[in-house]
Structure 1
Amino acid sequence: MSADFWAGYISGAAGILIGNPLDLIKVRLQVGTPSLTTTTTSSPSPYTSQFSSASSLIRGATAPILGYGALNALLFVTYNRTSTLLNANPYGTPPTLWTTWVSGAIGGLATWVVSTPTELIKCRAQISTSASASSSWGITKNIIRTDGLRGLYFGGVVTALRDSIGYGFYFWSYELSTRLMMSKIESGKTEPRVQESAKVLLCGGIAGVATWASIFPLDVIKTRVQTQVLGPSSESALLLASANVGAEQRRLGAIDIARNAYRSEGPSVFFRGLAICSIRAFIVNAAQWAVYEWIMRELDPSRKKVVT
C-alpha cells in the first residue's frame, strides 16, 4: 500500500475518535426530534438524558472508524493521483486552485461507495435512544434483512453530491489558506519554530469549517433521508417525524424531504447544528491533517507533501 493510503486511513480513524461526540449532537440536531423510538408508548425522555452515560457519546462510532478510515484513504489516494494528472504546471510547482478543487471533487465522488453505507449506519445508530438498537452491526443486519444490500446505499445520490462538492472545497480551502500562511512565513511575520505546526493545524481547521459551511444544507437533507426507517415493530424502528411518511409506507426522496422540512420548519432548518458542526470540523480536521502530514513524512520522507 502507498504512503498516502495509510496516512489517509489512520488520520481518518483518528478524526472519528476525536469528533464523534460532537458529531452525535450534530446529527440529532439535524433530525430535529428528541425521541424517535416508536416501539414504546411511554412519554419521551428529556433530550439531555440521551447523553447520560459515557457510552452514549461514542454511539455510532464503530461504523465510521472502520469505514471512514477506508474513505479517507480512498479520498487522499484519488485526490493525489487526479491532481498529478491534471497539474500542467512545471514539476515541483503547486497545482492551480481550480485543479485542486476538481481533484478534491473527484476524490470525494470516489468515496461514495464507502461513505453512503457508513453514513447510513452511523446516523441511524446516533439517533437511537436505545442501547440495544444502536449497535452498528445490528443495524447493518437489519438493513440487509429488510432491504438487501441495496438498502445500504439508500440516500446515495445526495451523499455523493455532498461529498463531491464538500471535498472540492476541502482541498481548495486547505491549499488557499496554506499559500496565505506561507506568504506570511516568507515575509518573516511568523516565528520559524511554529511555522510548520501552525500551518498544518490552522489550515486544516479552516479547511474543515469551509467544507461544512459549503454543504451543510445538503448534509441536513442527507441525514433526514437516511434516518427514515419503515415499520413500527422492528428493533430499530426510527421514523423521522418531519419526513411525513404516509400510510403508504413510502420512503421520501431528497427533494420531498427538503420541501417538507422547509414547509414545516422554515429555511433555518437547513443550518440547524452548523455551529456545533463548525467547532467539531475545526478540531477534527486540524488533528486529521496533522496526523496525515506526520505519517507522510515518516513513511515517505522523500515524497513532496501534497499541499505545501
Structure 2
Amino acid sequence: MSADFWAGYVSGAIGILVGNPLDLIKTRLQAGPAAITTAHTPSSPSAAPLSPTNLPWTKQFENLSALARGAAAPILGYGALNALLFVTYNRSLALLNTGQLDNWPDRPSALSIWTAGALGGLAIWFVSAPTELVKCRAQVSQPPRSSLAVTRELWRQGGLRGLYMGGGITSVRDSVGYGFYFWSYHLSKQAVAREDDTPNQHAIKVLLCGGLAGVVTWASIFPLDVIKTRVQTWDLLPSQPKEPASQPLLGSANGSSTSPKNVITDRPSTLSITQQAYHNEGMKVFVRGLGICSARAFVVNAVQWAVYEWMMKLLAA
C-alpha cells in the first residue's frame, strides 16, 4: 500500500495511546455530571456532592485500568481511520489542484486544502461512527464494560444500524472538523517554515503546527461533538431524556412499559436530546470539556503529525 496509508495508520494508533486518558475525561464531561459522579459517591451523607468541577482530575480514573477504558475500539479503528483520512485527503487535494490523483501540488490553495480535508472527513465516516459510538459508551458505562461487550450489545439490539447510532451528527462533525484540521496545519506551517531550517527546528515546528491544528479543529466543532456524545450515550445517564412526555403514568394496558428499552429504536431525536441538554444545563453544556479537549488535542496532534511526516520520509527513502 502507499506510504501515506501506513504513515496515517501508525500515527493514528499512536495518537490514541497518547491521548486516551484525557479523552476519557472529555467524554465524561460532555456526557454530563452523572458520567463522573456515579463512580465517585461521597463516603458520607454530609460530604459535598461531587461534580466535574470540584472532582480532582486524578480522581477521574477509578483505577489504573480506567486509563485505557474505551481505547480498544479507537486503537483498532482509528489507525485505519487515519490511514483512510490521509489517503483520501492527499488524492482529493491532487485532483482538485492538478486534475490527477497521484500528482501532489507544491502550493495548493487554502480552499482546496479545506475541501480535500472535508472530503477526507466524509470518507472516514463509516469507520469513525461505530468507533466513536463504542468508545464513548465504554467510557461512561457504569459498571465498566469492555469495548467488545458494548459492541455485542449494540449489535444485538440493532444489528448494523445499532453500530451507527449518532452517525449523522458524526459525519457532519468529521467533515467540518477535518476541513479545518488540514487547513490550519498547512496555513501555520507555511507561516513558520523556512528552507534553511535545521532538522531539529523543522521537527519543533511540525510539533507546534500539529498541536495548533488540533486545537483549532476542536474549537471549530466542539458543540457538535458534545451533541454527538449526548446522542451516543443518551440511555446511560439520568440527565438524558428517556421517556416521551405523553407516556401514561402506568404504561399501556398490556404492560409493555415494563419491557427493557431498545437503545436504538427508542432513542429520542438528535434535536430532542440537544434541547434537553440546553434546558437542563444552559449554553455552558456545549463548551464543557473544551479546556481538557484542547490540551489533549495539542499533544495528540503534535505527536500524530510528527510521526506522520517522519514515516513519510522513512518510507519514501
Same fold (TM over 0.5): yes
Between structure 1 and structure 2, the one with the greater Rg is 2
Counterparts in 2 of 1:85 and 1:122: CA distance versus 1, 3 Å: same
> Counterpart in 1 of 2:81?
71
Deviations 1:115-143 (A, max 9, x none): 00000000000002323xx2001110111
Deviations 1:66-118 (A, max 9, x none): 00001000100000000000014997531101000000000001110000000
Q: Does the 8 A contact of 1:37 with 1:128 survive in 2? A: no
Q: What is the CA–CA distance in structure 2 between the aligned matches of 1:151 and 1:252, rounded to whole Å?
A: 14
Q: Are 1:171 and 2:187 matched, yes or no?
A: no
Q: CA deviation at 1:150?
A: 0.8
Q: 1:283 to 1:244 in 2, by over 3 A?
A: same
Query: Is residue 244 of structure 1 aligned with residue 241 of structure 2?
Result: yes
- Structure 1, unpaired ranges of 5+: 230-237, 302-308
Deviations 1:34-92 (A, max 9, x none): 35899xxx968867655131111110000000000010001000000000000149975
| Pair 1:219-2:220 in alignment | no
Letter in 2 for 1:10: V
The reply on whether 1:52 has 2:49 as its aligned counterpart is no
Deviations 1:241-267 (A, max 9, x none): 332110565312221111111111111
- 1:42-191 superposed matches below 5 A: 51-88=61-98, 93-131=106-144, 134-182=145-193, 185=194
- In structure 2, the residue matched to 1:261 is 277
Distance in 2, Cα, partners of 1:35 & 1:276: 16
Q: Deviations over 1:5-60 (max 9, x none)?
A: 1100010000000000000000000011335899xxx9688676551311111100
Does the C-alpha gap of structure 1 residues 148 and 287 become closer, same or farther in structure 2, counting only changes over 3 Å? Answer: same
Distance change >3 Å, CA 92–CA 37, structure 1 → 2: closer
Q: Is the 8 A contact 2:94 2:105 kept in 1?
A: no
Q: Any conservation in 1 of the 2:34–2:238 contact (CA below 8 Å)?
A: no
- 1:242 aligned counterpart, secondary structure: coil
The answer as to whether partners of 1:59 and 1:125 remain within 8 angstroms in 2 is: yes
Question: How many residues were matched structurally?
Answer: 283
* Aligned: 1:276 with 2:292: yes
Distance 1:175 1:299, change over 3 A: same
Which residue is 1:200 aligned to?
206
1:288 aligns with 2:304: yes
Pairwise CA distance, 1:294: 0.7
SS in 1 for 2:239: helix
Amino acid aligned to 2:234:
Q
1 CA distance for matches of 2:169 and 2:298?
24
RMSD: 2.3
Report the identity percentage.
60
Is residue 24 of structure 2 the alignment partner of residue 18 of structure 1?
no
In 2: Cα distance, 1:22 partner to 1:177 partner: 25
What is the aligned partner in structure 1 of residue 8 from structure 2?
8
State the distance in 2 between where 1:148 and 1:120 align. Answer: 14
